[in-house]
């Protein structure tokens, strides 16, 4: 896997003797400008911060919001067309992802709501294409800085909104006083700020000439995780920071890498034993009850509904919008004593939609990404981003339905990371002069 800078990195490198400029600001070829604008547009669209004010913070229907994603479909196509060969190469190297998408499309034929499944399959495909586009167009450094810069702006806006307009920036009901920033509720802010922190810290490490800027903004996003009072987001952030610490140690020398690897194995086994033997203590630390705030009752209902046909789900995106009184949602709600909006588990969300085959395919794909992320921790600059992102995604999807979600930034990012791990950085052309080193004042 190549760890060198791709050709696109040169647009953010300042000539020798001049102060380094911020990425995306310096004059660049028109194609690079279009690519940057398209990438920022994709991130801003799929992060979904704009849905809260447009729906009056949940007071109005959100059905019309899907119309706002059509421009993002076009932006993804534009980016893919800029590097079609790279995009195709990345997909060819991701057969498990292709198999997952094909299985998702096949569920139309047995979906309990085929009209919804038919509408949401293209939405998933184009959301996935956004990740493919970002991975095929940018190097690790450029991808990290573009996402970091875009999300950092939202972090600063959330901080200002919570501080200056608390009626909007902080929750008034259910969790009064908890910061939500630009999002509908505190958990939305918390989880986005975890991603923001990972990208900002990775950008500061990969691009040392802008380290002060990125690390300073990371302090803002970390503060927002705390202000959101989301204990799950805080736990995920701490684990992600631990993953970055692990990458720092293994990259510092062969002996330290061996010691850190063994320590990591011991810690993972120890945490597993702690969860298994002291479950009540762990739940108390997370602020959860024995049902994980009603989640286990939902999970039990899903398992019961799937017991008659474990290999075939009810159709992608079909279960939770079924208005019928005899469908799986109604029976799950009867068992849970309330009507859930989702499975509250990425694994069970895939299970009830695609069946056991989908769970197996997704698990194999996740194992592949994890293996590549661990290798990148030792051998590629991408390890600074890939490993903490996989920690964040894997832990979060255990209790949140974030796996294979259409119109969701976390799915875009995990696809981008997966394909970037498969592709590596694009080597510079042999006849292209290497960029001169940045000046140091």
Q: For 248-279, how does the pLDDT look when each residue is reduced to its tens digit (9 = 90+)? A: 999 988 877 788 887 777 777 876 776 666 55
d(CA 327, CA 120): 19
**pTM of the predicted model, to two decimals?**
0.87
Domain of residue 248 covers 7-423
Which are the contacts of 269, defined by CB distance < 8 A and separation ≥ 6?
none
Question: What is the rounded (10 degree) CA torsion for 209, 212, 216, 219?
Answer: 90
The total number of residues written for the chain in this structure: 441
d(CA 84, CA 54): 35
Residue 48 forms part of a structural domain: yes
Token digits of residue 324: 């019928």
Residue 436 forms part of a structural domain: no
pLDDT at 428: 56
Phi/psi of residue 319, nearest 5 degrees: -65, -50
3-state secondary structure of 197: helix
Q: For each successive 10 residues of the chain (441 residues), what is the average pLDDT?
A: 47 46 58 94 95 78 84 96 95 96 97 95 97 96 97 97 93 89 93 97 96 97 96 92 93 82 77 64 57 78 92 94 89 88 92 96 96 93 95 90 93 97 76 45 38
The dihedral region occupied by 372, where left means phi > 0, alpha psi between -120 and 50, and beta the remainder, is alpha
Question: Residue 149 belongs to what H/E stretch?
Answer: helix 140-164
Q: Name 170's bridge partners.
A: 179
> Whose CA is closest to 390, among 423, 425, 415?
415
Residue 431 forms part of a structural domain: no
Residue 428 forms part of a structural domain: no
Q: pLDDT tens across 115-137, in order? A: 999 999 999 999 999 999 999 99
- Three-state SS string over the chain comes to CCCCCCHHHHHHCCCCCCCCCCCCCCCCCHHHHHHHHHHHHHHHHHHCCCHHHHCCCCCCCCHHHHHHHHHHHHHHHHHHHHCHHHHHHHHHCCHHHHHHHHHHHHHHHHCCCHHHHHHHHHHHHHHHHHHHHHHHHCCHHHHHHHHHHHHHHHHHHHHHHHHHCHHHHECCCCCCCCECCCCCCHHHHHHHHHHHHHHHHHHHHHCHHHHHHHHHHHHHHHHHHHHCCCHHHHHHHHHHHHHHHHHHHHCCCHHHHHHHHHHHHHHHHHHHHHHHHCHHHHHHHCCCCCCCCCHHHHHHHHHHHHCCCCCCCCCCCCHHHCCCCCCHHHHHHHHHCCCCCCCCCHHHHHHHHHCHHHHHHHHHHHHHHHHHHHHHHHHCCCHHHHHHHHHHHHHHCCCCCCCCCCCCHHHHHHHHHHHHHHHCCCCCCCCCCCCCCCCCC
Which are the contacts of 249, defined by CB distance < 8 A and separation ≥ 6?
256, 257, 259, 260
Q: Where are the alpha helices (DSSP H) in 346-382?
A: 346-354, 356-379
d(CA 9, CA 22): 12
Domains identified in the chain, total number? 1
Residue 434 forms part of a structural domain: no
Residue 438 forms part of a structural domain: no
pLDDT at 377: 93
Token digits of residue 322: 């079924």
Residue 45 forms part of a structural domain: yes
pLDDT at 293: 64
Q: How many Cβ atoms from other residues are within 10 Å of residue 30's Cβ?
A: 7
- Lookup result for tokens 């079924």: 322
Q: Where are the alpha helices (DSSP H) in 48-113?
A: 51-54, 70-82, 84-92, 95-106
Residues 225, 227, 232, 234: is their CA dihedral positive or negative? positive
Residues 373, 144, 411, 126: is their CA dihedral positive or negative? negative
Residue 109 forms part of a structural domain: yes
Question: What is the rounded (10 degree) CA torsion for 30, 35, 38, 41?
Answer: -110
pLDDT at 89: 96
């Amino acid at each position: 896997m190549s760890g060198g800078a791709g050709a696109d990195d040169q647009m953010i490198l300042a000539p020798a003797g001049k102060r380094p400029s911020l990425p995306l600001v310096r004059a660049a070829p028109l194609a690079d400008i279009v690519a940057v604008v398209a990438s920022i547009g994709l991130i801003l669209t799929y992060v979904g911060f704009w849905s809260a004010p447009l729906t009056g913070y949940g007071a109005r229907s959100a059905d019309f919001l899907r119309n706002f994603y059509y421009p993002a479909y076009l932006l993804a196509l534009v980016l893919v067309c800029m590097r079609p060969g790279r995009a195709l190469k990345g997909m060819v190297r991701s057969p498990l992802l292709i198999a997952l998408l094909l299985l998702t499309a096949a569920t139309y034929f047995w979906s309990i709501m085929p009209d919804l499944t038919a509408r949401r399959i293209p939405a998933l495909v184009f959301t996935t294409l956004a990740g493919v586009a970002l991975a095929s167009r940018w190097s690790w450094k450029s991808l990290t800085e573009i996402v970091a810069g875009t999300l950092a702006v939202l972090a600063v806006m959330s901080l200002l909104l919570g501080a200056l307009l608390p009626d909007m920036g902080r929750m008034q009901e259910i969790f009064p006083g908890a910061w939500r920033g630009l999002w509908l509720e505190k958990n939305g802010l918390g989880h986005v700020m975890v991603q923001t922190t990972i990208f900002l810290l990775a950008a500061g490490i990969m691009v040392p000439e802008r380290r002060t800027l990125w690390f300073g903004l990371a302090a803002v996003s970390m503060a927002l995780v705390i202000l959101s009072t989301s204990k799950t987001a805080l736990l995920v952030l701490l684990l992600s920071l631990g993953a970055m610490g692990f990458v720092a140690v293994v990259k510092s020398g062969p002996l330290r890498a061996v010691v850190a690897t063994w320590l990591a194995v011991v810690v993972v086994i120890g945490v597993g034993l702690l969860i298994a033997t002291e479950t009540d203590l762990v739940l108390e630390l997370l602020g959860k009850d024995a049902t994980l705030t009603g989640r286990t009752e939902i999970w039990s209902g899903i398992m019961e509904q799937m017991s008659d046909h474990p290999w075939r789900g009810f159709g992608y995106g079909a279960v939770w919008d079924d208005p019928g009184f005899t469908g799986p949602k109604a029976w799950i709600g009867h068992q849970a004593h309330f009507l859930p909006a989702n499975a509250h588990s990425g694994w069970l969300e895939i299970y009830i939609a695609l069946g056991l085959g989908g769970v197996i395919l997704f698990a194999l794909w996740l194992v592949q990404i994890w293996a590549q992320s661990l290798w990148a921790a030792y051998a590629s600059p991408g390890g600074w981003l890939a490993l903490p992102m996989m920690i964040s995604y894997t832990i979060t999807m255990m209790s949140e339905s974030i796996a294979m979600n259409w119109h969701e930034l976390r799915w875009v990012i995990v696809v981008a990371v997966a394909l970037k791990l498969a592709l590596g950085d694009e080597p510079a052309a042999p006849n292209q002069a290497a960029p001169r080193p940045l000046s140091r004042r």
